[in-house]
A and B are shown apart, each in its own frame.
Chain A
Amino acid sequence: MSVIQAVLLGLLGGLGIWDSRVMGLWMFERPLLLGPLAGLILGDLQTGIILGASLELVMMGVVGIGSATPPDTVSGSILATAFAITSNLDVSAAVALALPIATLGQLVGILVRTGNAFFVSKADKAAERGDYSGIDRALWGGAALFFVSYFLLVFTGALLGSAVIGQFVDMIPESVSNGLSVASGMLPALGIAILMQLLFNKKNVAFFFVGWVLTALIGVDTVGAAVVGTTIAYIIFQYAKDGKPAAAVSAEQGELSDDLGGEL
């Protein structure tokens, strides 16, 4: 990896963290988009796309909801993709690499968010003076701190790591790398379980199995399942919306879906 490529990857790291900080979350921080971009920088778009897809599945449950700082998808995706391309790793090794990197990135994230207290106190002082542009400066100070930290994290990781990672991975015994490959097949289950926690309520559990049966037994792909899901959601919305108070609507919804199940 050349220094220029490492710099570009570092800039991509800055862009990745800025997605949720400065740009308002366009999902540039997700592996599905960072993978191809990192691939483009290293001249292997194809591998970047495929790795991005695998990493997305593993990291699907990693989300920054509320005030907690999650494992860092940005550095994890970029560096894992970069190492996989430069050291010719297979997908499972790349996935296994992404996780410790994301944990390290999480630490950097926590440090920056703690350090930002400095800029918040600057903002307080600006407010005291009634100084509008002082608030602007404080905000962009925090933004700069985020960018620089993640640039440095990804840049140094890319520069130092690419030399070491290849040799390190060669040392891993075959049983362990087989195990990593098995684990990378199982890890999407964690992401899916986290989503189930977010989505389940007492009434709607059955809809999980609608999707599961469609794909596992009938062989419909995810796009097809999404179309079926949209249809079901639309039908329920239309039947339930007509001027009912919230309590009545949600009480009735269970019955409605039961009726549909019977007809289908």
Chain B
Amino acid sequence: MGNLNQINGTAEDSVMTKEIFKKTFWRTFPLQACFCYERMQNVGFAYQMIPALKKLYPDKKDASQALKRHLAIFNTTPCVVSFITGAAIAMEEKFKKARENGEECDEESINAVKTALMGPLAGIGDSFFWGTLRIIAAGIGASLAAQGTILGPLVFFLLYNIPHLLVRYQGLKLGYKSGVSFLENMAQGGVIALLTDVAKILGLVVVGSMCASMVALSTPLVITIDGASVVLQDVFDSILPNILPLGLTFAIYKLLQKGIKTTTVLWGIILLGILGSVIGIF
């Protein structure tokens, strides 16, 4: 909490007291509790803003304006939302002060910033948390769990959630402290792009390994030519071990690239498995 004092130190009457920080942090979790298709995470976003808004706008009329503002459409990756929450609180605070000093200001620009941030942040969040961290954690966890040890689920849980909670906690701090400028600096310095790139590389190494260890496909076919029988799988193995699973994976990748739906491919695989085993090629 050391840094937090620093935050409070920057402005004497800062809205982000320890207590409000703690309340807001807990309120970042149920972001999708009232998810709907029209405005997605909007109620969840407004919900996180409430501790700060309550302090800024005790008056019902101001409260109404602020709540309506934060009920606009919103959608991002849940684990990284706290960056935007922090930045939005910092902006609300700044605008209120400006207005008290008699300056004209347009609070709607807060929503413009939220909207501008949610897309790029979701891009990083999805490729890092969903595409990389979860895959590594699940890959390691599942290979342990396949042997029946409770370590598998535990390792999965810890590997994913330690970074998740750190990012959520630090994100709220950083978002509030440096607001929008922090995210802009990160983006301009290329650090986000670079981190996303190396995270993808790490993810791919693990995914490649999983392709070799977790996809199973072989054929029992035996071809008889002039009385000599050839076991087809042995031929494949002598070319390259594991070539059938690798080929299958890339064939499916090509289908997906062509825009064929996941569910179609899924049922196709099941059908192929059944037909193939009826004919006797698998």
Contact = CB atoms under 8 A, between A and B. Distances in A.
Interface of A: 20-27, 30, 32-33, 35-36, 45-46, 49-50, 52-54, 56-57, 60-63, 65-67, 71, 96, 99, 103, 113-114, 116-117, 119-120, 123-124, 126-132, 135-136, 138-143, 146, 175-176, 178-190, 192-201, 204-205, 207-217, 220-223, 225-226, 228-230, 232-234, 236-237, 240-241, 243-250, 253, 257
A130 B64 CA distance: 4
B257 interface: yes
A65 B32 contact: no
A186 B213 CA distance: 12
Contacts of A135: 43, 46-47, 50, 67
B175 interface: no
Contact of B142 (A25, A57, A198, A241): A57
Nearest to A187: B269
Interface in B239-266: 241-242, 245-246, 248-250, 252-253, 255-257, 262-263, 265-266
B205 A228 contact: yes
A223 B140 contact: yes
B209 A182 contact: no
B108 to A, nearest CB: 15
B148 A212 contact: no
B236 interface: no
B120 interface: no
A207 B40 CA distance: 36
Given A36-B150, A197-B253, A56 B142 contact: yes
Contact of A186 (B191, B272, B278): B272
A27 B134 contact: yes
Given A199-B204, A226-B205, A179 B277 contact: yes
Nearest to A95: B270
A188 to B, nearest CB: 5
A173 to B, nearest CB: 9
B179 interface: no
A234 B132 CA distance: 14
A246 B64 contact: no
Nearest to B33: A143
B203 A199 contact: yes
Contacts of A61: 262
Contacts of A229: 136, 201-206
B35 A116 contact: yes
A199 B199 CA distance: 9
A183 B193 contact: no
A56 B210 CA distance: 12
Contacts, number: 396
Contacts of A49: 145, 148-150, 152-153
Given A132-B50, A135-B67, A186-B273, A246 B206 contact: no
Interface bin, chain B? 35 or more
B54 interface: yes
B78 A20 contact: yes
Interface of A is mostly: helix
B138 interface: yes
Given A32-B152, A188-B214, A250-B194, A175 B30 contact: no
Nearest to B75: A67
A138 B197 contact: no
B230 interface: no
A232 B131 contact: no
A50 B131 CA distance: 23
A212 B37 contact: no
Contact of B270 (A96, A215, A234, A236): A96
Contacts of B60: 129-131
Interface string B161-174: 10010001000000
B215 A189 contact: yes
B269 to A, nearest CB: 5
Given A56-B142, A120-B43, A237-B195, A129 B153 contact: no
A27 B38 CA distance: 26
Nearest to A212: B208
Given A138-B34, A179-B274, A246-B193, A193 B127 contact: no
B107 interface: no
B160 interface: yes
Contact of A244 (B47, B68, B149, B190): B190
A36 B153 contact: yes
Contact of B68 (A23, A56, A128): A128
B121 interface: no
Nearest to A201: B200
Contact of B202 (A67, A126, A186, A233): A233
B278 A175 contact: yes
A147 to B, nearest CB: 10
A-B interface, 5 closest residue pairs, ranked by CB to CB distance from nearest? A211-B208, A183-B273, A142-B34, A179-B274, A229-B205
Given A179-B278, A237-B198, 11 more contacts: A20-B32, A27-B160, A45-B150, A60-B138, A114-B37, A120-B71, A132-B63, A194-B256, A222-B139, A237-B194, A247-B190
